[in-house]
Chains A and B, each alone.
Chain A
Amino acid sequence: MRILNNVAIFITLAVAYNLINGVCGQLHLGPNAFITLGAYTAALLTMTPAEKTLNFLVTPLYWPLSQAALPFPAALLAGGLVAVAFALLTGFPVFRVRGDYLAIVTLGFGEVVRVLANNLQGVTNGPLGLKGLYPYTNLWWSWGVAVAATAVVAALVNSSYGRALNAIREDETAARASGINTFRHLLGAYLLSAFFFGVGGGLLAHLITTISPSLFTFFLTFNLLIIIVVGGLGSTTGAILAAAGFTLAGEWLRIVEEPAAIFGFTIPGIPGMRMVILSLALLLVIIFCRRGLMGRREFSWAGLGRRLRGGVAGSVPGAGKP
């Protein structure tokens, strides 16, 4: 159950991340900031005032938050909106620069949020984190959000705006000459992805029920980056497949760490072995499909039909590896 919830949340996050990194081609390294904001906002809004007093032992929670209690959907939405507000604030400095500089700026904002979460004890309870959240996240919520995120992002990518975002990735100068306000388009994509990061963060918080700043380090961003690169930068289908595969593999590979008996030999469990195997799998993907599992291709029923009918010999236009 928990794994399936995790899969759905990572699909949401990966699809949103792919919009900005894969489709727009901007190396954004701060999704952990938005996920943190979403997680904390949603958590603080669903906890009852009594739970909050129990949690905030060192420094009491500031007043309006200490009394607030919202139903789960409203809290998720609030998490998303707070992430959007932060994106709106950071979007102006972020999109003044491009390339490596943009990566550094977003990375910086990611760290800023983590450090704030660690030190603003009156809001986040600092490194102690928030404990005992009610596990509201169930399959309906997590998959509902995943489906909604995928539908919205896919609809956007396949629209005229998505085409413009692709154009910005391919050649920003030419895109500007073609009349695209690149700042506005990038900001739009950034805000939309921030919203889903925030909602995903809220879901994550209510799945694991205990959150602390150490959960939302750059490592989380890095995992998402691996997922979208393996899936194929720019492919929503690839992001979904890779998010599911990555999350499931992380769990299933726990088997290899347990002591096992093969043909009478007893192999002691090696902790960390699953990470080795996962890394090897990632290496193989990158060696054999240099542009990720899907490249920039997308799944379509028509394409599947063609492939099935044509068999091996029938070459599907555009489906071959570039």
Chain B
Amino acid sequence: MALLCTENLDMRFGGLAALSDLNLAVPEGGLYGLIGPNGAGKTTVFNLISGFLQPTGGRIVWDGREITGEPPHRLTAWGIARTFQNIRLFGELSVLDNVLVGFHCRSHATWGEAVLRLPRYRREELDRRSRGLALLEEVGLAAAADQPAGKLPYGHQRRLEIARALATGPRCLLLDEPAAGLNPQETGDLIFFIRAIKDRYNLTILVIEHNLRLVMGLCQHLTVLDHGLTIAAGPPADIRKHPEVIRAYLGEERVAISS
């Protein structure tokens, strides 16, 4: 059974249909892609799944339970983590603190325990720190742990954002254009990196991408959106040849007829 499903998902902003009738079914352990030209509604899908937007129609089902309309922090606690298209880090906080914020939602210590530094809080904080450092080591940012996150080079900021999402302990990771602004070499590294974390953390991954090289090389299944409509869905090899997709990306070959 699919881990994450959307059923006839609709999103309208006033008269604008940003997304119509989206049906996705991402199985546990799947690596699915969402592609489409600019303004196709891909990020809207992520905002709906991660709870930042309320759909105007349809349902979202996570692990057999309907989650439509739940707030983002609860969805994160249930195991859906995301990154953002325009990187959103806590710029003035250190690299390590950014990751530690991700661990915070798993802590059980209350405000009082934290202020009084009671044993449970101290134990959790020590555990967080060691796991945070290990996570930074894994994504290759351990050397920069004490630097402000905003001062990291662009590619490292992308990795840190993924690390922060991993710190929340997700089962499903939503990556919004992880390769935006990366050069081909870095994109290659990123494909390798995404595969590695997927295996290590048993993740289900849904990725939005413009970079066809990345999605074709990475995903098992693609859904193509254009103007909020699903125009194709299937394995990358089929999508590559799909006439609708070619039309959406390259435009239509048409003989101009004036009538």
On whether the beta carbons of A174 and B128 are closer than 8 Å, the reply is no
On whether the beta carbons of A156 and B50 are closer than 8 Å, the reply is no
Stretch at the interface among B16-24, B29-37, B87-95: B87-95
Q: Which of B90, B128, B164 contacts A166 (CB 8 A)?
A: B90
Decide yes or no: A166 and B104 within 8 Å by CB, A171-B90, A177-B50, A296-B92 being known contacts. Answer: no
Most buried by B among A155, A167, A179, A182: A179
Most buried by A among B50, B76, B101, B146: B101
Using a CB-CB cutoff of 8 Å, which residues 169-197 of chain A contact chain B? 170-171, 173-182, 188
Stretch at the interface among B107-115, B135-143, B179-187, B211-219: B107-115
Complex CA gap A317/B72 in Å reads: 36
Decide yes or no: A180 and B101 within 8 Å by CB, A160-B109, A170-B93 being known contacts. Answer: yes
Complex CA gap A153/B246 in Å reads: 59
**Interface residues on chain B, size class:** 35 or more
A159 CB-CB contact with B under 8 Å: yes
Binary flags per residue of B128-172, CB closer than 8 Å to A gives 1, else 0: 100000000000000000100000000000000000110110000
Q: Closest chain B residue to A159 by CB distance?
A: B114
B73 CB-CB contact with A under 8 Å: yes
Q: Which of A167, A171, A179 contacts B168 (CB 8 A)?
A: A179
Complex CA gap A156/B89 in Å reads: 22
A116 CB-CB contact with B under 8 Å: no
Residues on the B chain within 8 Å of A188, using CB: 111
Complex CA gap A164/B114 in Å reads: 12
Interface residues of A, dominant DSSP: helix
On whether the beta carbons of B105 and A179 are closer than 8 Å, the reply is yes
B125 CB-CB contact with A under 8 Å: yes
Residues on the B chain within 8 Å of A318, using CB: 146
Complex CA gap A180/B168 in Å reads: 10
Stretch at the interface among B77-85, B197-205, B221-229: B77-85
On whether the beta carbons of B115 and A156 are closer than 8 Å, the reply is yes
Nearest Cβ on chain A to B125's Cβ, whole angstroms: 6
Nearest Cβ on chain A to B45's Cβ, whole angstroms: 15
Complex CA gap A160/B112 in Å reads: 12
Complex CA gap A317/B145 in Å reads: 13
Residues on the A chain within 8 Å of B102, using CB: 178-179
Nearest Cβ on chain B to A215's Cβ, whole angstroms: 31
Residues on the B chain within 8 Å of A170, using CB: 89-93
B52 CB-CB contact with A under 8 Å: yes
B100 CB-CB contact with A under 8 Å: yes
B121 CB-CB contact with A under 8 Å: yes
Decide yes or no: A163 and B116 within 8 Å by CB, A173-B52, A180-B105 being known contacts. Answer: no
Residues on the A chain within 8 Å of B88, using CB: 171, 173-174, 177
Q: Which of B76, B77, B146 contacts A317 (CB 8 A)?
A: B146
On whether the beta carbons of B104 and A163 are closer than 8 Å, the reply is yes
Binary flags per residue of A146-165, CB closer than 8 Å to B gives 1, else 0: 00000010011001110110
B117 CB-CB contact with A under 8 Å: yes
Nearest Cβ on chain B to A175's Cβ, whole angstroms: 7
Q: Which of A155, A156, A163, A177 contacts B84 (CB 8 A)?
A: A177
On whether the beta carbons of A163 and B115 are closer than 8 Å, the reply is no
Binary flags per residue of B46-83, CB closer than 8 Å to A gives 1, else 0: 00001010000000000000000001111011000110
B124 CB-CB contact with A under 8 Å: yes
Decide yes or no: A177 and B76 within 8 Å by CB, A159-B121, A160-B128 being known contacts. Answer: yes
On whether the beta carbons of A179 and B111 are closer than 8 Å, the reply is no
Binary flags per residue of A285-302, CB closer than 8 Å to B gives 1, else 0: 000000000001000000
On whether the beta carbons of B111 and A152 are closer than 8 Å, the reply is no
B97 CB-CB contact with A under 8 Å: yes
Residues on the B chain within 8 Å of A181, using CB: 71, 73-74
Residues of B bordering A, CB below 8 Å: 50, 52, 71-74, 76-77, 81-82, 84, 88-93, 97-98, 100-107, 109, 111, 114-117, 121, 124-125, 128, 146, 164-165, 167-168
> Can you report 21 A-B residue pairs in the complex whose CB atoms are below 8 A from each other?
A155-B116, A155-B117, A159-B114, A159-B121, A160-B103, A160-B114, A160-B124, A161-B114, A167-B90, A167-B101, A170-B89, A174-B88, A175-B90, A175-B101, A177-B50, A177-B72, A178-B167, A178-B168, A179-B81, A180-B73, A181-B73
Residues of A bordering B, CB below 8 Å: 152, 155-156, 159-161, 163-164, 166-167, 170-171, 173-182, 188, 296, 317-318
